Amino acid sequence: SPDKVINFSPGPTSLPKSVENEIAASFTKSGFTSLALSHRSPEFIDILDKTTATLKRVMDIPDNYEILFTHGGGHGQFAALPLNLCHELSDVATYVVNGTWSARGRDEAQKYCNAETIDGKDPQTNKFTHFPELTEEDINVQSKYVYLCSNETVNGIELHRLPKLPESRKHIPLVVDASSDFTTKPIDWNGDNVGVLFACASKNIGHPGLTMTVVRKDLLGEGKASPLCPGVFNYTTNSEAGNLWNTPATFNIEVVGLLMNWLAREGGVAANEQRSIAKSQVLYDVIDNSNGFYATPVPNKMLRSRMNLPFNIKGGDDTLTKKFLIESWEAGMVGLRTLTPFGVGDYLRASLYNGVTEEQAKTLAQFMITFAMNNA
Ligand code: PMP
């Protein structure tokens, strides 16, 4: 039955069961829901205000930050960032590129600014399994921002805390793509010098069609963005219009609010981090104790993602990989196949977003142990 299916999809994916039940109930609720309300109606504005307030409370976001809900997904923000933070095409921004998504963010930004790259490949292997040290020499002092991705969804590399910039570069705001790890660990907003943090909604906080962007207010203001910046992406325009400059993704905003209520109910971000650690640890333990039957590409345990766990079987054995996929599917586990256009080889990937429980992660771990025993 669909209720029994465990979804390890890298996104879009399932939300926590209780949130999905609330979404289902909202379809049959009497009266208007956000599916049928004008975005300018007082009822919807109440939903929007409550979503923002709960989000700020559970993620401890101080009042010097604005919450924006726009369209365009992560890729929209890849363009919106230079268009908002760089006034001229010649303005410099520094990009730490240590995986698929930071590379894509940098490539898009290059259209709108002078994007300089800090190469985040492992210097020994030339592969994306690493995060570089951020040195003064590497960061152009003129940079309008320093960009990084806190969880590389495809490569399985995560920063469990944001890095500090060198003292002489502390004036430069940090920009964070937290699309696949937002809500799963605390953020020290001012302490870590976060200028902008964004997350597309399709993993931990909701459904595609909505992007959440947290912007520090001193980066807003008339005339700061590039004159080319489209209104729908303009942080100042959207902030001044209270997220109603154009029609926002009303229902998706309500869903983010339901997710934030869930997070508050379940002990907040600190408890969620502990769950993420527990869920990923049980699987990494199986991989590390499998005598090489399973392997993960990220050797540095400090950088292993709690969200997305790539692993292969006997070095990428095709027959065993297919067998694993069929048997896990028959056992009710879906989303483990890595379908990306980015060529990460023969890796399977288990994604452990908010919709996956500790119990479900243990079910996969047990399945992997049994599969290894039967196929060693
Ligand atoms: N950044 C990260 C870290 C992602 O995981 C993704 C989506 N997988 C994106 C950006 C792109 O988001 P979108 O598809 O919404 O444009």
Same domain, 114 and 254: yes
pLDDT band at 32 (very low <50, low <70, confident <90, very high): confident
Averaged over 297-318, what is the pLDDT? Answer: 94
Same domain, 216 and 294: no
60-88 residue pLDDT tens: 999 999 999 999 999 999 999 999 999 99
Helix pair angle (17-28, 250-265), 10° resolution: 140
Whether the bond into 12 is cis, omega within 30 of 0? yes
Same domain, 183 and 312: no
- Which of 265, 290, 314 finishes a domain? 265
Strands 174-177, 146-149: pairing is parallel
- 287/292 Cα distance (integer angstroms): 8
**Residue closest by Cα to atom 11 of ligand 1:** 74
Q: Is 329 noted as a catalytic residue in this protein?
A: no
pLDDT at 338: 77
**210 C-alpha vs ligand 1 centroid, how far in Å?**
12
16: closest CA among 245, 258, 342?
A: 258
- Which of 265, 285, 315 finishes a domain? 265
- Which of 244, 265, 286 finishes a domain? 265
Same domain, 260 and 278: no
Strands 348-351, 6-7: pairing is unpaired
213-253 residue pLDDT tens: 999 999 999 999 999 999 999 999 999 999 999 999 999 99
- 156/136 Cα distance (integer angstroms): 27
Q: Is 318 noted as a catalytic residue in this protein?
A: no
Amino acid identity for residue 79 in this structure: A
354: closest CA among 254, 259, 285, 280?
A: 259
Q: Is 177 noted as a catalytic residue in this protein?
A: yes
- 63/106 Cα distance (integer angstroms): 29
Same domain, 112 and 234: yes
Q: What atom in ligand 1 is closest to the CA of residue 75?
A: 16
- 247/251 Cα distance (integer angstroms): 11
- 149/171 Cα distance (integer angstroms): 20
Instruction: Count CB neighbours of 215 within 10 A.
Output: 24
Same domain, 223 and 278: no
Strands 114-119, 211-216: pairing is unpaired
pLDDT at 340: 64
Same domain, 211 and 260: yes
pLDDT at 256: 98
233: closest CA among 74, 94, 38, 63?
A: 74
Minimum mean pLDDT range among 67-81, 82-96, 141-155, 311-325: 311-325
pLDDT at 342: 57
Amino acid identity for residue 251 in this structure: F
- 208/200 Cα distance (integer angstroms): 7
Q: Which two tokens stand for residue 308?
A: 């997305």
**270 C-alpha vs ligand 1 centroid, how far in Å?**
24
Q: Is residue 8 part of a domain?
A: no
Averaged over 246-270, what is the pLDDT? Answer: 98
Strands 194-200, 6-7: pairing is unpaired
Q: Is residue 29 part of a domain?
A: yes
Instruction: Kindly state the DSSP code that residue 232 receives in the 8-state scheme.
Output: G
Q: Is residue 5 part of a domain?
A: no
Same domain, 167 and 280: no
Q: Is residue 107 part of a domain?
A: yes
How many domains does the chain fold into?
2
Q: Which two tokens stand for residue 70?
A: 């726009």
Same domain, 261 and 310: no
pLDDT at 148: 98
Averaged over 291-314, what is the pLDDT? Answer: 95
Instruction: Specify the 3-state DSSP secondary structure of 108.
Output: helix
**75 C-alpha vs ligand 1 centroid, how far in Å?**
7
**Residue closest by Cα to atom 9 of ligand 1:** 74
Amino acid identity for residue 350 in this structure: A
Does residue 177 register a pLDDT over 70?
yes
Q: What are phi and psi of 41, to 5 degrees?
A: -75, 150
pTM of the model: 0.97
Binding site, annotated residues for pyridoxal 5'-phosphate: 101, 153, 177, 246-247
Catalytic residue among 144, 185, 203, 279: 203
Binding site, annotated residues for L-glutamate: 40
Provide the CATH number for the domain around residue 72: 3.40.640.10
> Which amino acids bring their CB within 6 angstroms of ligand 1?
11, 73-75, 101, 149, 153, 177, 179-180, 200, 202
Does residue 31 register a pLDDT over 80?
no
Averaged over 304-319, what is the pLDDT? Answer: 93
- 8/4 Cα distance (integer angstroms): 13
Instruction: Kindly state the DSSP code that residue 336 receives in the 8-state scheme.
Output: -
pLDDT band at 341 (very low <50, low <70, confident <90, very high): low
Q: Are 259 and 354 in contact (CB under 8 A)?
A: yes
Same domain, 194 and 276: no
Provide the CATH number for the domain around residue 333: 3.90.1150.10
Averaged over 117-143, what is the pLDDT? Answer: 95
Residues 6+ apart with CB under 8 A from 15: 23, 206, 255, 259, 354, 355
Mean per-residue pLDDT of the chain: 95
**Residue closest by Cα to atom 3 of ligand 1:** 179
179, 196, 213, best to mutate for ligand 1 pocket (most atoms within 8 Å of CB): 179
Is the ipTM higher than 0.90? The answer is yes
Domain extent for 189: 18-265
Start-end of H helices in the chain: 17-28, 42-58, 73-85, 100-109, 235-240, 250-265, 268-288, 318-330, 358-375
- 209/35 Cα distance (integer angstroms): 14
Instruction: Specify the 3-state DSSP secondary structure of 181.
Output: coil
Q: Are 16 and 262 in contact (CB under 8 A)?
A: yes
